[in-house]
Structures are given as C-alpha cells and as structure tokens.
Structure 1
C-alpha cells in the first residue's frame, strides 16, 4: 500500500522500504525511500524518522564517488516537494533477479555458514577465522531475490550462472567486486570499515549493466568503526544494532511465525543516530533535515 498516494502517480511497486511510481515518460520512474525498516524479512511496524532521506542522500553521494566505474540509474534528484530529499527519478531497467553481495569481512550469515561448513556460498575460506575477520581477498556471494515476505536465498556462483547465464554472471561478479574495492577504500580513508554490501543491477535495452536501487547505505551494507574494529569490537553504523536488540533483548523468537515487536523509543532513536552518523562520517557533512 502506498504511503505517498497524494503524489497522483500510479504506484508500480511497494517493497520493504522503497516505492516505485510511474512517470509520464515510460523510461522513467520515481523511486521513493520510506522510513520503513526491515529485519529478518519482516517490515517492522515502527518506522525510523528520516531514514528514507539518509538512504537517498547517501546513495546520491555514492553515485558521485563511483562515477566512471559503472553507469547508474539516476536521472535527477529534482522531485515533487512531497518527497523532496527522499526520492530520485531513475531509469526503468530490466532488473537482474540477484542480490549481488561482496564480503571483505566475515560476519552475519556468512559467519554462521562458515562455522558450519568452512565456506560461504560455496567459497572455501581458511580455517581459524572469527566473527569480524578480514578476508585476504573479498569474495562475491550472490543471493536469489525472494518475493516480499520470503527469505532471500544464498546461492553459489555456479548456481547463479545456471540461472542468469555465465556471461551476465561474470559481469555481475566483476562489477560488484570493483564497486566494493573502490567503496571500501573510500570508507577506510574516513575511519569506517565497509564489511560487506549488497548491490542490485539492471540492464538497459542495449544490454548495458547499470547499478540500480540504493547503494552502500546502512540498510544494504555493514559499516564498522575502524578504531573499534582494531580493538576487536564490531561497533556498527547500520541496522545491526536493531537486529541485535530484536534477537537478544526484545524477547522475540525469530524461529516462530510471530512478527517482531514494536520498537521502543530509545531503540528508534539510537538506530536513527547510527544512520545519521554513517552519513556524516562518510560524506563529511551534516544532513539537513526539516
């Protein structure tokens, strides 16, 4: 259901966080980032104020940083006043049904898989790693995109290529790792470790691979304080704080079909603070709100 029905535009798709609206030009879409937040495949009942603005403004900044490396779907940030700051006019693309994930550090679902098998998405890793270990070489670990409410499924590179073709699979892998390499260096120069990131790509009619959706935000990436990491602590500027509260402190049992509980005001405030900190630390400027 649309949160921005007053725009007077046809709603094409409402995802966990973003809404897509049709524009008069058939080659263009209005992409709006809401303040919704998702965790463990649930969209939570509680929103995070200004989150959509952070996602959009940080994505715009990253598109500039990645200029010349790969085309992106941004056409303009000149959008209706009702969604100013949280929306972009973007190209309509044939989206590749793969979450393209680059991991430079072992954590999250990759850490769980490594503990069980010594591998992540079929990629064998050295013995003796721990949660937060830096990988000698970043790895590409694709996931199959699921429908809203379902789980994205980690798959091997070979499985991905069987589904989308070897040529496109190789292009996806190479683009993902190139973007991660540049972004990881930029973040490290600012005292931030980019542990991993999830990217989405689409194809133009001529076959050009284009970076789409959002890019390198606290929703789609793990950001850690570099100094704290060097001391063995994973101090995050992303939604891991919220995930940790849900599974360790809220009393919610994620193995059941019961939706997560509402977020207390202090969890909302601290999550919002982490998103704003990520923006400020990376871009070097404060985000203008309200």
Structure 2
C-alpha cells in the first residue's frame, strides 16, 4: 500500500490510479523480491530485474506457478469466508528443477481478511501477522534492534488470529 501511495505502481507494475486502501486489484499480479540479509526487508524488484538474475524462462515459470498457487488458495479461502489479500512464495532450484520451499499460505506468509468484514478504504481486520507488525511499528521497534519482549496480551491476540485462520480454513481447531 505504501509503495502504491508513492508511485501508483508495485514492483514496476502500473496500477489503476485512485485506488483506496485494501481495494481489490483487477487481477492478481506477480511481485518478485530478493531475499534480504538478516535484519533487512526483502527488496521488491521488477520482473525485468528478476529476468536479469535468473533468466526470462525461469522468471516466466516462477510467475506462472505463483499465480496458479495463489488462485487456488484464494478460491479455497473464499469458500471459507476468507479473502487471501496477498501471499509470498519462496522457490529454489535442485539440479535445475524448480522447487517450492518454505511455508505456503500460512498466516506468516499471507494476509487473510474476513470476507464478512471487508471494506475498501480502511485497514482490514486480519487473521495473520499484521496485528503483530502493527504493534511493533506502534511501539517504535526497529528491525535492527534486538527483538522486544512481547506483552502477554499481544501474544494471546496474535495466537487467536492464527487459530481463527486455522479453524476457518480447515474446519478444525488446533486440538483436532
């Protein structure tokens, strides 16, 4: 959202002007990034920059796989009353084979919004790590600082959001 506010683009992709916070894009987009050093944020890059790093064919392959996984995940979540606002996937290579690595479609790697509470123009309620991120920003913590001790209430509220995502997406609780 912050990138869009500055440039009306994300990763070099022009988006419609005048969009409001949390407004759905006309269609899903592929937004590559590079892995940052510990303590830094991953850096968003354009598809052209990605192609310079890994080649056009591999860029196209990663884009295709990413969008297909996203669309399946978004459809699954929508059937359960959740909007999959965005997500990230991490890929690697093993003997030239593309591998999907790390977590996939979890509250740590995705933004899950309750469909029944969704409103364009305001920061949506979520079942993901955004609550914790907001707390850390509001507290003044910087990623270069040592991790803070989190208040029990923040831990409990974050846990509750993750459990809500689990229950809505799977129909089962943690004990199941």
Structure 2 gaps of 5+ residues are: none
Shift of 1:276: 1.0
Which structure is higher in helix share?
Answer: 2
Paired residues for 1:131-280 under 5 Å = 131-205=21-95, 207-230=96-119, 234-248=124-138, 250=139, 252-254=140-142, 257-280=144-167
Shift of 1:246: 1.5
Q: CA separation of 1:258/1:153 partners in 2, compared to 1, >3 Å: closer, same or farther? A: same
Shift of 1:283: 0.6
Counterparts of 2:74 and 2:67, CA distance in 1:
10
Structure 1 gaps of 5+ residues are: 1-110
Q: CA separation of 1:169/1:238 partners in 2, compared to 1, >3 Å: closer, same or farther? A: same
Residues 260-269 or 153-162, more deviating: 260-269
- In the alignment, is the contact (CA less than 8 A) between 1:140 and 1:173 conserved in 2? yes
TM-score by length of 2: 0.93
Which whole-Å deviations, capped at 9, do the CAs of 1:36-79 have from their partners, x for residues lacking one? Answer: xxxxxxxxxxxxxxxxxxxxxxxxxxxxxxxxxxxxxxxxxxxx
- In the alignment, is the contact (CA less than 8 A) between 1:223 and 1:238 conserved in 2? yes
Shift of 1:213: 1.0
TM-score by length of 1: 0.57
Shift of 1:253: 4.9
RMSD between superposed Cα atoms in Å: 1.7
Q: CA separation of 1:202/1:266 partners in 2, compared to 1, >3 Å: closer, same or farther? A: same
The alignment status of 1:281 with 2:163, answered yes or no, reads no
Counterparts of 1:247 and 1:199, CA distance in 2:
24
Shift of 1:150: 2.5
Which whole-Å deviations, capped at 9, do the CAs of 1:165-222 have from their partners, x for residues lacking one? Answer: 11111100110001001100100000000000000122232x3322221100000000
Counterparts of 1:189 and 1:141, CA distance in 2:
25
Paired residues for 1:35-114 under 5 Å = 111-114=1-4
Shift of 1:128: 1.1
Which structure is higher in strand share?
Answer: 1
Shift of 1:233: 5.6
Alignment-derived partner of residue 6 in structure 2: 116
Number of residue pairs matched by the alignment: 175
Q: CA separation of 1:253/1:210 partners in 2, compared to 1, >3 Å: closer, same or farther? A: closer
Residues 195-204 or 225-234, more deviating: 225-234
